[in-house]
Amino acid sequence: MRKSELIERLGEKFPHIAKADIEKIVNSMVDRIIDALRKNERIEIRGFGSLFVKLRKGREARNPKTGIRLSIESKHVPFFKAGKELKVLVNKSMPGK
């Protein structure tokens, strides 16, 4: 789902709220999540999951096409860990279950 689709669905669910206001709310939430991750804060949404940042260590790699050795620097990478309730709900709704 794209952010625009999320805004559209929220607009359908809450027709009394202007779409422009819903867009501001969604953008504000995304901005706050990004700010928190930049500050290395953990974000936990009960029943959904948590977002956090991990440090991926630097390493030596090889370009498979040319065989040239490369040095990859360490970097911070955002991670999402699904909560237990979300896992249960997803597994209940999957076909074949």
Q: Within this chain, do residues 56 and 73 fall inside the same structural domain, yes or no? A: yes
Does 26 lie in the same domain as 7? yes
Q: What's the structural domain count of the chain?
A: 2
Q: From residue 25, give the alpha-carbon distance in Å to each of 7, 51, 60, 89.
A: 9, 19, 43, 26
Same domain, 54 and 73: yes
Model-wide pTM > 0.95: no
**Shared domain check, 78 and 59:** yes
- List, run by run, the mean pLDDT of 10-residue segments along the chain (97 residues): 95 95 96 96 95 96 93 96 93 76
Residues whose CB falls within 8 Å of the CB of residue 73, separated by 6 or more in sequence, listed in order: 58
At 6, is the secondary structure helix, strand, or coil? helix
What range does the domain containing 54 cover? Answer: 44-97
**Same-domain status, 30 and 48:** no
Do 53 and 92 lie in a common domain? yes
> Are both 53 and 67 inside the same structural domain?
yes
